[in-house]
Amino acid sequence: MHDSILTPQTALMGLINAGRYGRQEGDVGIRISEVKNFSLANITAFKNCREPLEKVIDEYLGLDLPIGPQRIEKNGYALIGHGPDQWLAIGYEENSASIFDKLEKASRDYAAIVDQSDARAIIRLSGPDARKALAKGVSIDLDPSVFHTNCTATTFAAGLWINLWQINDSPAYEISVFRGFGASLASWIKSSAEEFGYINQ
Amino acid sequence: MRITCPHCGNRSLDEFIYLGDATVQRPDPARPDALAAFVDYVYQRENPVGRHRELWYHNAGCHAWLVVTRDVRTHEIFGVEPAKEVSLSEKTTGAAR
Ligand SMILES: [Zn+2]
C-alpha cells in the first residue's frame, strides 16, 4: 500500500515569500505578512439575545461585544463587528479553537457560532505607505479622522469581498477574505505595494 | 451617489443593489379581492418625480436591506433606515409611512 502524508498548508502558502520587492531605492513603505494559525468563528446573535450573549462572551473571552463596525481586542482574542448583530471572533494564539467550541456550546440559546478557521485567509499590511496602497482598491475613506485603530469595514477591494480592520496607528491593517480568494487578494496587495517598496515577512 | 448605511457608514453606490419601491405592502392573501390586490402589488408602480422611498440591499457590506428616501431627480438622500425596523414599526402601527 502506498503511504501518503498529509501536510497542513496555510491559505497563502508560497504566495508571500520573504524578501524585499518592488521599489528598491529608499526606505521600505510596507510590510506584508500572512496571519497564520488563527482561529476564527462567525457569531450571529438571535433576536433580542444581545444581553445574555454578551455575558457568555465576557465569561469565555473577557471581551465586550463591539457596537457597530468596531473591533475590541484583548489577551489574544478580537471581536470584529461586521453587520447588525454579527461579529467575527478571532483567536490569534494556537488552540483558541477549543475556546470557541466551548463558547458555541454555552451560547446555543443566544447565537449561531460557526467555526470558519480553515475557510479564511488573513493578510496583515503595515508601514507608512500601507494606507496609500490599500486606498487604491478600497472605496471607503481610510483617512485617520474617520477610519482609525479598531475601526472595521466589510466592503469590496479590487472586486473582492473583504473584511478589513485597523490594528494600530503605524498604520497596520488586517484583511480577511474567503480562503479561495486569498491568492487574488495577495496578488492585488503585492502589485498595489510595489511602487512603495515592500517586505514580505 | 453615496449611501450612508446605518450599520456600515458612508459607502459608494457600487456596494448596493437596487430593488425598487418600498411603499408597497404585501396584501393579505385571505382578503376577498386578493387576486386584484396582488396584481397591483406585483406590477403597478407609481413613477413619482422627486422624493421616493426605495429598497436597497447592502451587498458589499452588512447584507442588510435598507429603506432609502431619495429625490429621484437630484439623487439627494433624506434618510436611510434598516428595512427590518421599518417593517416592524409598520406592523405595530398597522400602516405604511
Ligand atoms: Zn451596511
- The predicted pLDDT at position B95 comes to 58
Over residues A27-77, the pLDDT tens digits come to 999 999 999 999 999 999 999 999 999 999 999 999 999 999 999 999 999
* Average pLDDT value over all residues in chain A: 95
Residue of B nearest to A83 (CA): B62
Interface test with B, best of A82, A140, A142, A165 (most B CBs within 10 A): A140
Over residues B22-61, the pLDDT tens digits come to 999 999 999 999 999 999 999 999 999 999 999 999 999 9
Average pLDDT over residues A85-100: 91
- Contact flag A154-B12 (C-beta cutoff 8 Å): no
Identify the structural domains of chain B with CATH numbers, from first to last: 2-25+41-93 (3.30.2270.10)
Question: A96-106 and A50-61 helices cross at what angle (nearest 10)?
Answer: 150
Confidence band of B97 (pLDDT split at 50, 70, 90): very low
The structural domain count of chain A equals 2
Both A52 and A90 in one domain: the answer is yes
Instruction: Give the SS3 label for residue B39.
Output: helix
Look up the domain containing A178 and give its range. Answer: 19-36+119-200
State the amino acid at position B65 in one-letter form.
Answer: W
Both A156 and A107 in one domain: the answer is no
Q: How far is the CA of B66 from the centre of ligand 1 (A)?
A: 8
The partner residue sitting opposite B62, judged by closest CB among A83, A140, A146, is A83
Considering the entire predicted model, what is its pTM?
0.91
The DSSP element (H or E) to which A98 belongs, if any, is helix A96-106
Q: Which residues from chain B sit within 8 angstroms of residue A86, using beta carbons?
A: 62
Structural domain contains residue A189:
yes
- Contact flag B61-A83 (C-beta cutoff 8 Å): yes
Residue B75, CA distances (Å) to A158, B1, B50 in order: 26, 7, 9
Both A32 and A45 in one domain: the answer is no
Structural domain contains residue A12:
no
Over residues B62-76, the pLDDT tens digits come to 999 999 999 999 999
Q: Which residues 37-96 of chain B have a CB within 8 Å of chain A?
A: 60-64, 82, 84
The DSSP element (H or E) to which A88 belongs, if any, is strand A86-91
